[in-house]
Amino acid sequence: MASEDNDKDRDLDENGGEGEGESDEPEASKSDEDAAPAKETKPAPVAAKQAAKVPPPPTAGLGKAVALFITVVGGLSLAMLLLGAERGGGGPAAPKWNEGQTVDVEITLVSTDRQDLACASGTEIKGLHCGFESQGKRWSKGDPADDKKTLRPYSTTNNINFFAAGVWAEPALAADKLPGSRFSVKCKFAVEGKMPRADVRWHEGEGWNNVTDWYAGAVSDCKIGTVQ
């Protein structure tokens, strides 16, 4: 009996022991698991990440800036309009005169306008003409010093611009009677026509400005009006 037991022990040692190293799963399934690649985790698209980081456009802030700009510009425009109203209005008004008509005008002046005011044009209107034929040439077809025939640019107190002759020939505007500050004269103005084009000078030694379609005529019966 002892000999049989020894033989069984030897058989167990040679076979590596009964039950050792054996598995319930076949060897083929183990090799399949080892050979199967691991599942890859795909990264999120770069564009999607960048889009997620971009903040929304600041539409609210832009709207406030535009509203503030409109408010400021509107306020400045209103202030300018009010300031212009306080100073007697905006640009020159268009007179509703007709050739051959005599109208009442109130001209605003200072004593130095006698030398400062001048116009330049080669056009004559019923014997009336500017003191210059061009900006650099005095009138050569008659006496340029004859104020009764020499047109000059004037403005009325209600902002009408026109050419008139004879202002400084009026007795009320004798040099020794002129006020020392700005004043107005009320005159009768005989409308003789329109000057199609001329250059005007408001201050001696300064530049000329081109104007078109100003009425031209002669004044009479002038009287000093208001003095500032």
Q: CB-based burial of residue 144 (10 Å sphere; 0-12 exposed, 13-18 middle, 19+ buried)? A: middle
Tell me, what DSSP letter sits at residue 206?
S
Locate 64 and state its tokens.
Answer: 């406030």
Check whether 149 has a pLDDT greater than 60.
yes
pLDDT above 70 (res 219):
yes
Domain boundaries defined on the chain: 2-35, 102-227
Q: Mean pLDDT for the chain?
A: 76
Indicate the pLDDT class of residue 12, thresholds 50, 70 and 90. Answer: very low
Torsion, Cα 10 12 17 19, to 10 degrees, reads 180
- Distance CA(44)–CA(41), nearest Å, equals 9
Q: Is the pLDDT of residue 21 over 60?
A: no
pLDDT for the residue numbered 60:
54
Is residue 220 packed enough to be buried (19+ CB in 10 Å), middle (13-18) or exposed (0-12)? Answer: middle
Going by pLDDT thresholds of 50, 70 and 90, the confidence category of residue 143 is confident
Residue 222 falls in which region: left (phi positive, over 0), alpha (psi -120 to 50) or beta: beta
32-80: per-residue pLDDT in tens?
Answer: 444 445 555 555 555 545 545 555 555 556 666 666 666 655 555 554 4
What's the pTM value of the predicted model, to 2 decimals?
Answer: 0.60
Q: pLDDT band at 141, cuts 50/70/90?
A: confident
Least confident of 75-89, 168-182, 187-201: 75-89
Percent of the chain with pLDDT over 70: 59
